[in-house]
Structure formats: structure tokens, C-alpha cells
Amino acid sequence: MQGTPDRPSSAPDDRWRILRTQDDLDRLGETESIFALSNGWVGWRGTLDEGDPCDMPGSYLNGFHERRALNYPEDGYAFPQLSDTVISAPNATLVRLWVGGEPLDIRIGTLRTHEQVLDLRAGVVERVTEWISPAGQGVRVRSTRLVSLPRRRVAALDWTVEPLDDAVDLRICADLLANERVPQRADDPRAASIVHDPLIAERHHVDGADGVLVHRTEHSDQRVAVAVAHRPSAPDQIAISTDATPDRIRLTLAGTVAPGERARLTKYVAYEWVPVDGTAAVDLADQVTAEADAARETGFTTLLAEQRAALDTAWRTADVVLEGDEELQLAIRFAMFHLIQAGRPDGASSIPAKGLTGNGYDGHVLWDTEQYVLPVLTYVAPGVARSALRWRYAHLPQARERAAELRLTGATFPWRTIGGQECSGYWPAGTAGLHVNADIADAVLRYAGATGDEKFRAGAGLELLVAGARLWRGFGHFTDDGGFHIFGVTGPDEYAALVDDNAFTNLMARRNLRGAADAAERYPEAAGRLGVDPAEVAGWRAAADAMVLPYDAKRGVHQQAAGFTSQPEWDFAGTGDDDYPLLLHFPYLELYRRQVVKQADLVLAMLRCPGEFTAEEKAANFAYYEARTVRDSSLSAAPQAVLAAELGHLDLAYDMFAESVLQDLLDLGDKTGDGLHLASLGGSWLALVQGFGGMRDDRELLSFDPRLPDRIERLAFSLCWRGHRLLVTLTTEEARYELPDAPADTAVDLWHHGEQVRVVAGTPVRRPMPQVPDFGAEPTAPPGRRPTHRAAAV
């Protein structure tokens, strides 16, 4: 992209660029997700400017959705009757081009060159295409897109066309288009539910070259406004006109462009949505128009500079240096880029499972956010983690109502939602997944511990912890032997449901109960306002202390849930490669009752609650469950990587890490077209930091027990800890801990391999790398289910 006069120029650095060319055109949907841009508020899928070919258009606004009815063949009490589903705001990315009357379409004519680049430092997608029409007329099209990180409502597109040789007759139509057709995916329970023509036009207005559309939704009662301010720059002979209908604003440039000339068009776009009973349509139109105008005033060059500056700041903490494997170095940066841009630090908004990169899972937020994304963002962008937790807090009243509807105590947060209501249409794997409440509590405790944010801890944090503790205390029960049990719930593993004493749920509930008790004792006055008294706190502690962790003494392993190890084994010998993912080829009747694990469950418990297990128990458990875990979920590889690393199976850990971080770049699950797997991308950071860095955060201080696989020569990452950036650098010889940005006498205490050390600003602490633990040979995976050997792949 060098040489464009009004853009910052720099030598391309392939360690920071994702490139796709004409060789990748058969992966269109995947490419659209990978090149998606977002600022946590607005998301643009990486569709082609000309809009066709397109796998799935998408312009998402965080929280903007429609509602649809859920119909059950056999309904039941408290089955959700409505579900939120993400819908697109009007699409402002479109710049259609006709060359000598032929539409630019890279599938026809001659594609001389075609590149799309995601620049991870600039925060833009650049595109250049040289195309010769079927009639032989050649053009070069360039564009640069950004979704502004500092300006939450703003996105912009800078688009240029020039003749390759002879003068060409051009028509350029820059559209803002509502109710664009979205394709229905084939039958797959994980795909989105499409609502056609969801937007009802309220207002459309054109002013010169600019325009605004206002629509509302039919059922979710939301209003959305999009304004486009155009800056065309074209030879004088080019005629410019606009036209508007309720669903489309179009700016048309038409005329002949001579060799050496070019036509350029910059679109400055501003979005906003509000509840329909909020801002009126005309006022909302004015707001976004003003914001688009302001962006145009600012100019594209400045927007680029702002973007770069924002990313420079973000990367200081978020970057991970991984030397020894260029592909994965780039992949982890790609992962971190998408995590950075998925959330915003300044409000109460969450991060859907696909971010704003696609409509998979109907655009819902799931427990993935608290267990796979916030454990990363807490350390690299704590303000974003706080925003996501404040979003949960904002929906606490709904969670309390839902608990009351379910005849439960405390609060039950939805398994999947956009607007805060439970949207799960299959309760055994949705509503019964009560662990989401403990996952939220865990994220609260992590955020509070890492930041020391007292205001949050004594306010929203306390209230969330108390609501969770009340749920668990009421839901669980004591048996005659004094044990405290949680029966009839579903843990992380979706090849089991409605089990008793799921180890993950029980341990995380214990963490919630104790965390709430600690917080209530720390802030007695605030707790008192919530009606918490010492007797209630004592009840939480009693339940936590008596919490049962099912164990099979004969096999010497913990049970994922009570009775798990008595279940029949899965017939792996009779299961073919084509039978995966199992959920598409076997009924739940078979999956639920057998010892087959979709995704890390007890292994995730060992990651989140490491102090509850001895090293020997971890080794035995890991081997047992590794042999039964098929990894049909992208949530699985990362926790497996962490435990594999902890137990010294470093090659396995590295291969698991690779699978997690390449999930979307290689479309390993064949679902990337529906949006990126943010949990898998977040998990890849966990695999590095918690796996090879051996970081654990279940105690007062961070601890590290680093061990590097052969392939990694150097691994460096940063963690925000109580307001300071702790930089950890690992090589085969040593671990170095330092506070590069902190004032002179700042000190941070941490654990390194069982030794408590104090890191003082300006004085890096160096320790030799610990011996890699030896728990014998790598455990065996089910046939064909081990991740690809990365060492062999090199």
C-alpha cells in the first residue's frame, strides 16, 4: 500500500500483516470474518467493497438485535419464548463499480492481482485489485477501511479507482443499504437464525452528497441511525448525483477517467442505536449526521493516525513475542488484535462469542466471554474486562427475575443472550448450565484481584458475587454425610447434561461462595445494604467447605461428575473419522451416558482451581480425560494445552496451542465464515501465558512456573497488575520479570516456581527456567483426535 500519497507509508512487516490473495477466493466467508474490523461497538465484516461475491454481509452494532419467537414441539414451564438474534445495521461499506458497463466482479473477467491485507498495527484493512473487464478494460481499485478505535460510532472507507491503461468509462455507486439479503446457512444447530427484512424504515434524508437512514426493529423496539458523509475527489468530467429511498442512500459518480487520473471516494460513517422510546428518529439522525460530518472534517489521514496511536497503546500490553515459529507469531498477534478490537473500555457492553465479526450463535454472549476472553483482557485491557462485567451487572435485575421464574434463589444469568434475557432453546445445555453464574463470579474475582479496583469490588463486584452465592447456597443441598452437593446441572462438557456434582461447577461455585464471603467481610456496610448478615456468610462458607468433589478411588481419578467413570465407554474403535463432530452423527442419548468428552471440563477445573488438586492428581486426571476427550469444541484445546504444559507434555501443549490459535486462520472447525471464535483466540493467549508461562491467578499474588517447548526460543508477554505492566520474558535459559513502565520504586511481588520474588521497577528479576516436570509419556488421545504434530509439520 506504499505510495498512496495521503496515507502513512511504511515497509510492510509480515509479522503484523494478514494477507489474502486471489488464491483464497474459495474461502470467502472465512476471509470476511478474518478481515472483520470492530471497535467493540461497530463491526464491519471484511466483505468486498463491491458487495459481490459475498458469503455473508454484516454490519453489527453491539447490542443491536431483533427478537424472534422460539417454538417448541413440546413446550415447558419457563422455556424462553423469545430469542435475540443479531441483525445488520444498514451496510455502509458498499462501493459498486461498473467499468464500461460491466460490473466489477472478481469471478469474471481477468483478475490480474488481488490482495486484502489486515494491518495489525495500523488497524486497517487494505485492498488492491487489478481487474480487466470481459471487454478488456482494466482498472486498479484500492481501498482502506477502518472502524475507529477512539471514536466508537465512526467507521470510514477510502476508495480509489484508476485505469490500468486506456481511459475507461466508469460508474461508481456508493450505497448505504438497509435490509440487505443475508443467506440462510445449512442446517446446523450452531448457525444463526436469520430474520429477513428486519428493519422498518422511519426516515431517510439526503443533503448534497450525504445521507442518513433511520430504521427501527419490529419486536426488539430498537432504533438505528446511520449517516454517511462522502468526500468524492474525481476529475471534473465525472458527474456526481445522489438518490435516496427508505432503505438506500446512493451516491453515484459517472464519467470517463483518463490514464493517470483517478476517482476517489471517502465514506465517513456514523452509527447509533437507542431504544425506540429513547431518542426520536429525527434527533438520532441529527446526531449521527453530526458525527459523520465531524469525521469528515477530521479527515481520513487523521483517523488513520488516531487508529495507529490507539493500537500502539494497546499493543504495548497486548503484544506477545513468540520467537521460533513465524506462523504462530503472526497468529497470536492476529488473535490479540481481534481481542483488542472486540471490546470497549468505557461502558457496560459485553463481547459476543463471535465478537462483531459474524452472526454465528445468533450474535449471543455466552460463558465463553467470562472464561476465555476476560481472563485475557483482565491482564491486557482491564478496562474492557470491567465494561463486560458492568454489562452483566446492568442485567442483574433480569437475572434475578429469571431466578424467581425458575423458583431459585439469587440470580441466574442467561446461558446465551444479547439483551439480557435467557435465549437458550434447549434447556439441558442452556438453562441447566448454571456454571455461567460461577464463571461470572470468577471473572469478577480475577478482575478485582488483578486491578485492585476497589470501587468495582465494593459495588457491582460485591453484588454479583452475592447474587451468585445465594444461587449456589439455595440450589445446592447437604446430604446425611455432611457433603454439599449440586445436582442436576450441566457442566462445560456438552456431551453430558443434567449431571450431579459436576466437578467444575462445584469448584467454581465454591470459589463464588468463598469470594462472596470474603467480599462481604471486606465491605460489611455494602454487604449489609444487600441484606447480607454474618449468618448468611457463615452459610456460604459452610457450603463451600463441604462442597463435594467426586473421586473414583479405584481408578485414582476425579470424576467429571458423580458416576462418570461408571458410565459405559465410547466405542472409539467403531467411530470413523467422518463421525466427527459426534454431535452431528450420534444422539444425545448416546453422548450423554457414555465416557466421551466434547471439551475440557475437569481439565478446565484444574486450570481454574489449580490448588484443589495435587500434581499427581492432575497427571492422573489429565491422562484419563485426554483419552476420552474428542475436542469437538473449539473451547477445548486451550485448557488442554495449559494442563499439558503444566504436566511437562510440552509438544502436546504446543500442538494444542497451535490448534487454538489457528482455529480461524485455518478454519479448522469449518465455521469461521460465521464469525471468529474469540474464545479460541483468547484461549491461545491462555495457552501461552498460563501454559508455557505457567501463570496462575487463584492466589493473592500471581505465580509463574514457566517451561518452554522446543519450538519456542523466546516468549515475552505483558500483564497489567495493579496498574503496572509486568513484562515476562522467557527463554530456554531464564525467566525475566520486569516493570518497564513503572515509576522508580514500584514493586510487585510474585511467585516463581514456588519462590516468592519481588520485582522492583528498573531491576529485572532473572531466574533460571525450572526443570520440566516429568509425568511420563504423553497421554493417549482417542484415535485420530490428537492435534496435528506441529514439530512434524515444520
Buried b (16+ CB within 10 A) or exposed e, 551-588: beeeeebbbbbbebbebeebebeebeeeebbbbeebee
**Three-state SS for 375?**
helix
Which of the ranges 49-57, 341-349, 496-504, 741-749 carries the binding residues for a copy of itself, by CB under 8 A? 496-504
For a copy of itself, the closer CB: 428 or 648: 428
Contact segment (CB under 8 A) with a copy of itself among 349-357, 584-592, 647-655, 680-688 equals 584-592
3-state helix vs strand vs coil in the chain, percent to 5? 35, 25, 40
Q: Confirm or reject binding of residue 427 to a copy of itself (CB under 8 A).
A: yes
Of 318 and 432, which CB lies nearer to a copy of itself in the complex structure? Answer: 432
- Relative to beta strand 557-558, strand 551-552 is antiparallel
Cα(48)–Cα(481) distance, integer angstroms:
64
C-beta closer to a copy of itself: residue 589 or 744: 589
Among 586, 667, 701, 722, binds a copy of itself (CB under 8 A): 586
**Beta-carbon neighbour count of residue 423 at 10 Å?**
25
CB of 475 to a copy of itself, least distance (A): 9
Which of 305, 406, 546, 760 binds a copy of itself (CB under 8 A)? It is 406
Of the pair 80, 669, the CB lying nearest a copy of itself is at: 80
Question: Rounded to 5 degrees, what angle do the CA atoms 418, 376, 723 make?
Answer: 110
Does residue 337 sit in helix, strand or coil? helix
Pick the piece of the chain touching a copy of itself (CB under 8 A) from 271-279, 456-464, 579-587, 630-638: 579-587
Q: Output the smallest distance, CB 305 to a copy of itself, in A.
A: 46
Instruction: Using alpha carbons, select from 274, 264, 255, 291 the residue that is nearest to residue 169.
Output: 255
The answer to whether 72 contacts a copy of itself (rule: CB under 8 A) is: yes
| Beta pairing, strands 65-69 & 59-61 | unpaired
| Residues in contact with a copy of itself, shown as a per-residue x/- string from 438 to 477 under the rule CB under 8 A | ---------------------------------------x
The Cα 182–Cα 196 span in angstroms is 7
Smallest gap from Cβ 368 to a copy of itself, in A, equals 17
DSSP state string for 291-313: HHHHHHHH-HHHHHHHHHHHHHH
Task: Please give the Cα distance from 209 to 118 (Å, whole number).
Answer: 29
The reply, when asked if residue 367 is annotated as ligand binding, is yes
d(CA 108, CA 70) in angstroms, rounded, equals: 42
Q: Which of 99, 174, 497, 509 binds a copy of itself (CB under 8 A)?
A: 497
DSSP string over 516-541: HHHHHHHSHHHHHHTT--HHHHHHHH
Binding of residue 539 to a copy of itself (CB under 8 A): no
Query: Cell digits for 44?
Result: 464491519
Say whether 700 is catalytic.
Answer: no
- List the catalytic residue out of 32, 494, 646, 778: 494
Q: Counting contacts by CB under 8 A, is residue 588 touching a copy of itself?
A: yes
* Options 76-84, 229-237, 528-536, 616-624: segment touching a copy of itself (CB under 8 A): 76-84
C-alpha distances out from residue 673 to 20, 47, 357, 578, 666, Å: 15, 11, 9, 21, 11
The annotation status of 23 as a binding-site residue, yes or no, is: no
73 is a contact residue toward a copy of itself (CB under 8 A) = yes
Of 33, 38, 85, 431, the residue at the interface with a copy of itself (CB under 8 A) is 431
Q: Let me know: does 154 contact 292? Beta carbons within 8 Å.
A: yes
Note whether 587 binds a copy of itself by CB under 8 A.
Answer: yes
Q: Is 283 annotated as a binding residue?
A: no
Does 5 help bind a copy of itself (rule: CB under 8 A)?
Answer: no
Smallest distance from the beta carbon of 186 to a copy of itself, in angstroms? Answer: 12
Determine whether the annotation assigns residue 137 to a binding site. no
**Quick one: which segment of 112-120, 564-572, 711-719, 754-762 binds a copy of itself (CB under 8 A)?**
564-572
- Gap between the Cα atoms of 526 and 539, Å rounded: 18
Number of Cβ atoms within 10 Å of the Cβ of 279: 18
CA pair distance 614, 329, nearest whole angstrom? 33
The three-class DSSP label of residue 434 is coil
Give yes or no for residue 401 binding a copy of itself (CB under 8 A).
no
Binding residues for a copy of itself, how many (CB under 8 A)? 52
Of 2, 9, 71, 614, which one interacts with a copy of itself (CB under 8 A)? 71
Q: Which range touches a copy of itself (CB under 8 A), out of 48-56, 344-352, 529-537, 560-568?
A: 560-568
Q: 457: how many CB neighbours lie within 10 A of its CB?
A: 21
- With binding defined as CB under 8 A, does residue 189 bind a copy of itself? yes
Regarding 428 and contact with a copy of itself (CB under 8 A), the answer is: yes
- Contact between residue 474 and residue 410 where contact means Cβ atoms under 8 Å apart: yes
The residues binding a copy of itself (CB under 8 A) are 70-78, 80, 83, 187, 189, 405-408, 424-432, 477, 479-480, 485, 487-489, 497-498, 500, 554, 562-563, 566-568, 583-590, 592-593
Q: Give the residue ranges of the annotated binding site.
A: 367-368, 598-599
Q: Give the residue ranges of the annotated binding site for substrate.
A: 367-368, 598-599
Q: Which residues are catalytic?
A: 494
